[in-house]
Amino acid sequence: MIRILIIDDEHKARNILHHYLVDHIPEAMDIRQADGVDAAIAMLGEFSPDIVFLDVEMPVKSGFDFLVEVKSPSFDIIFTTAYNQYAIQAIRFSALDYLLKPIDADELKGAVQRHLDQKASTREKEELYQNLVRNLGKKDTRDFKIAVSSAEGAHFFVIDDIIRIEADSSYAHIFLTEGKRFTASKTLKHFEEMLEEYSFVRIHKSHLINPAHLLQVNGDHSIAVMRDGSQVEISRRKKEDVKKLIKTK
């Protein structure tokens, strides 16, 4: 059974989400609402939710202000927001969950299921929330630190540290500068979508590269040589894209 707190300044938005939770989340046993950060914090004195649905953009105090004031939440947070690319990127880079308004019932069910399935420790969740707060203090999204959970815990690194990412079924091997490497429990598609706007290129069904670390390609443009010495296969249909990358370097 799940205890839920909805924090949103819009009465209609709270009621719609409450309705969806009742209709689609049988595990929800106690659903409460707060119309702002101060009301929510006061409520936490006598109510311990498992999940907080937190609106990002609210007057007076934002959802991120709530996160700063709570500091070490014992509950999971699922952010809710209208389209705000900066906020969404900060949340995604911190490996946290969000739902775009208007909320879709299937996406809501998926977010709650991820809560039920998640195995992150309290310490790891705290690190992820702290990373989000740090990211929000940056002026450029390229300076955001990416948080990735693995079997060894959470890892944090900046975009420019990534040399390449290699698919391995539903996992991805991330190769960083200074010979660092670890395996993330996310697909290559996940990272492709996250990093597309930063010029990362998928040169093969199994390989995503950072062009900043591309040194050269072989004569027939079938192999890319990366800064760490690794050689990455280039698919036939991606050869022209790689040729363009080399010309711009």
Residue range(s) in the chain whose domain bears CATH number 3.40.50.2300:
2-136
Other Cβ atoms closer than 10 A to 146: 22
Helix then strand count (H, E) for the chain reads: 8, 15
Specify whether the CB–CB gap between 192 and 172 falls below 8 A.
Answer: no
Instruction: Dump pLDDT digits (tens) for 187-240.
Output: 999 999 999 999 999 999 999 999 999 999 987 889 999 999 999 999 999 998
pLDDT at 210: 97
Q: Which of 3.40.50.1860, 3.40.50.2300, 3.40.630.30, 3.10.20.70 would CATH assign to domain 2-136?
A: 3.40.50.2300
Instruction: Match 């799940």 to its residue by tokens.
Output: 2
d(CA 119, CA 111): 14
pLDDT band at residue 118, thresholds of 50, 70 and 90?
confident
What b/e sequence results for 130-145 when a residue is b if at least 16 CB atoms lie within 10 Å of its CB, and e otherwise? Answer: bbbeebbeeeeeeebb
Instruction: Enter the pTM of the model.
Output: 0.86
| Tokens linked to 222 | 């079938």
Site of tokens 């990127």 = 89
Count the Cβ atoms, other than its own, within 10 Å of residue 208: 23
Return residue ranges of the chain for CATH 2.40.50.1020: 162-248
Q: Any residues with CB less than 8 A from the CB of 229 and at least 6 apart, and which?
A: none
In this structure, which CATH number among 2.60.40.10, 2.40.50.140, 2.40.50.1020, 3.40.50.10860 belongs to the domain 162-248? 2.40.50.1020
